[in-house]
């Protein structure tokens, strides 16, 4: 065998060895526990839990309020949503569970309390949001609900003036109804206090910590409802009422 043919043979052998090595690596990764495999493949990725999904070999990873997926056999991470054939997002449902667990520890004394009914509803809302106004119309005459309202002007930053007005009012529930029904805020001559402005920012920060990304967002009996989904809200209120009897 001449030198050139020998060189080509060695190169070909090396290529085969590298491929074999890769297959061994994948085999080892697949044999490891998913948590260990994930930490080895992505050592700088923070996460709290990892668990098997309904898809064989695919694992759900929870990192804060984020949900993504890991395939150990190929050491792939997948970002996005898994949607069932009925159109419901399995990923969104999981995020809702995570958010519901977080809101259990919300400081409700910082919210605007509206009503005195048996069922507690935690609401993240925006006085300038049309969908929030629609939800407000649904809730305003109910006597079976106590709403704990936090303000989150995500799409309407100018609504902060109305939020300051509500939080500054002696009767905050009344001011809340006024603003949700199109009222105009009247600013005090001396302006709003720093404590009122700070509380408004706390509301926004609490929404962020709870993973709220849109308004209105509701939490009823540990279930999250995003948007003015009146049908789903009514369903959860009926379930809560049956438990409260």
Confidence of residue 52 (pLDDT cuts 50, 70, 90): very high
Enter the tokens of residue 27: 């085999």
CATH superfamily of 100-244: Glutaredoxin (3.40.30.10)
- pTM of the model as a whole: 0.69
Closest CA to 229 of 149, 114, 135: 135
Q: Where are the beta strands (DSSP E) in the chain?
A: 49-52, 59-63, 66-71, 76-78, 112-114, 119-125, 145-151, 217-220, 223-226
Q: How many CB atoms lie within 10 A of CB 123?
A: 25
Domain limits, CATH 3.10.450.70, in the chain: 3-99
Domain limits, CATH 3.40.30.10, in the chain: 100-244
Q: Mean pLDDT lowest for which of 1-5, 199-203, 208-212? A: 1-5
Q: What are phi and psi of 109, to 5 degrees?
A: -65, -15
Confidence of residue 73 (pLDDT cuts 50, 70, 90): very high
Q: What are phi and psi of 139, to 5 degrees?
A: -85, -25
Computed over every residue of the chain, the mean pLDDT equals 86
| pLDDT at residue 100 greater than cutoff 90 | no
The CA-atom distances, in angstroms, between 93 and each of 65, 69, 131, 225, 237 are: 12, 15, 21, 10, 19
β-sheet with 119-125: strand ranges across: 112-114, 145-151, 119-125, 217-220, 223-226
State the maximum Cα–Cα separation within the chain, in Å, rounded to a whole number.
98
Mean pLDDT of the 133-160 span: 96
CATH pick for 3-99 out of 3.40.50.1970, 3.30.360.10, 3.10.450.70, 3.30.420.40: 3.10.450.70
| pLDDT at residue 3 greater than cutoff 80 | no
Can you name the residues that pair with 114 across neighbouring β-strands?
Answer: 147
SS3 116: coil
More confident residue, 19 or 188: 188
pLDDT of residue 7: 38
């Amino acid at each position: 065998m001449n030198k050139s043919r020998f060189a080509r043979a060695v190169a070909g052998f090396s290529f085969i060895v590298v491929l074999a090595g890769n297959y061994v690596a994948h085999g080892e990764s697949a044999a490891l526990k998913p948590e260990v495999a994930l930490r080895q493949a992505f050592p700088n990725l923070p996460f709290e839990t990892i668990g098997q999904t309904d898809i064989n070999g695919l694992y759900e990873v929870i990192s804060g309020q984020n949900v993504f997926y890991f395939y150990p056999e190929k050491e792939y991470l997948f970002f996005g949503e898994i949607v069932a054939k009925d159109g419901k997002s399995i990923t969104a449902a999981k995020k809702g569970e995570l958010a519901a667990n977080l809101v259990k520890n919300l400081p409700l004394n910082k919210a605007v309390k509206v009503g005195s009914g048996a069922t507690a509803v935690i609401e993240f809302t925006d006085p300038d949001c049309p969908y929030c106004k629609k939800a407000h119309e649904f809730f305003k005459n109910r006597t079976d609900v106590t709403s704990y309202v936090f303000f989150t002007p995500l799409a309407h930053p100018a609504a902060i003036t109305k939020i300051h007005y509500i939080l500054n009012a002696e009767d905050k529930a009344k001011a809340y109804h006024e603003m949700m029904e199109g009222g105009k805020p009247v600013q005090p001559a001396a302006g709003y206090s720093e404590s009122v402005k700070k509380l408004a920012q706390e509301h926004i920060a609490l929404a962020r910590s709870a993973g709220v990304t849109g308004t209105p967002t509701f939490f009823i009996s540990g279930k999250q409802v995003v948007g003015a989904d009146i049908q789903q809200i009514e369903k959860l209120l009926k379930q809560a009422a049956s438990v409260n009897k």
